[in-house]
Amino acid sequence: MNRKKFMGVMLLAGCVTVAMATLGWSGEDERWEHERGERGEHGVLPVTSGVEPVMNKTYKAECSACHFAYPAGLLPERSWVKIMNNLDDHFGDNASLNKETRETIENYLRGHAADHIPNRFSRSILRSVDENQTPMRITETGYFVHKHREIPARMVADNPQVKSFSNCLACHSSATHGSFDEHGVRIPGFGRWED
């Protein structure tokens, strides 16, 4: 091989190496995976650091009438199925729906659940849930607990403007857009959260 071809091959190999390294970098969620002793998966599917925002009008209308319409990618499919099959006792309330509406919402949630969405945020949540567990609340997932572990109760549960960790919109103003970036957290009455 002549020197010109050899240099071209070396340049190409260098570019491929840099490209692969760039694809492998993901910031905070990678650190979470590392702390749990897990390796991230990187393929050809598009990967984002947020979670897919709620796009289904029926789900958004029905569920946001009482609470924040949580993005489906925050729980695994089995959790959404269990939640949808217990709407008559939905965390102490009767949230029953007619069959058609319930099926529309359940199909949306199942198809967009953490196990079906190719983004780092959903994958991190999914990895934090044991296969034999079916969390009914996003706040019960290991990833959620890990990410909120340093926030004192006085800022959330004891804060009348927040009241609960399930009140995502109180601190994550871009949650409706699927962004739960910790750098954009503003806790009512306390200001910007500095980790």
Q: What does the pLDDT look like over 50-62, one tens digit per residue? A: 789 999 999 999 9
Residue range 185-195: mean pLDDT, rounded = 89
Mean pLDDT for the chain overall: 83
CA distances from 149 to 26, 173, 190 (A): 21, 20, 17
β-strand pairing of 186-187 with 191-192? antiparallel
pLDDT of residue 144: 94
Task: Show the tokens assigned to 109.
Answer: 């949630």
- Confidence check: pLDDT of 100 > 90: yes
Backbone angles phi, psi at 145, to 5 degrees: -60, -45
pLDDT of residue 95: 95
- Choice between 48 and 9, residue whose per-residue pLDDT is larger: 9
pLDDT band at 4 (very low <50, low <70, confident <90, very high): confident
pLDDT of residue 127: 94
Which of 6-10, 41-45, 167-171, 183-187 has the lowest average pLDDT? 41-45
d(CA 126, CA 137): 13
pLDDT of residue 24: 46
User: How far, in whole angstroms, is CA 17 from its chain's centroid?
Assistant: 29
pLDDT band at 44 (very low <50, low <70, confident <90, very high): very low
Q: Is 65 exposed, middle or buried (0-12, 13-18, 19+ CB in 10 A)?
A: exposed
H-assigned helices in 25-115: 28-35, 57-63, 77-84, 99-111
Instruction: Identify the top-confidence range among 1-5, 12-16, 119-123.
Output: 119-123
pLDDT band at 20 (very low <50, low <70, confident <90, very high): low
pLDDT band at 5 (very low <50, low <70, confident <90, very high): confident
| pTM of the full structure | 0.74
In a 13 Å sphere around the CA of 24, the CA atoms on its Cβ side amount to: 8
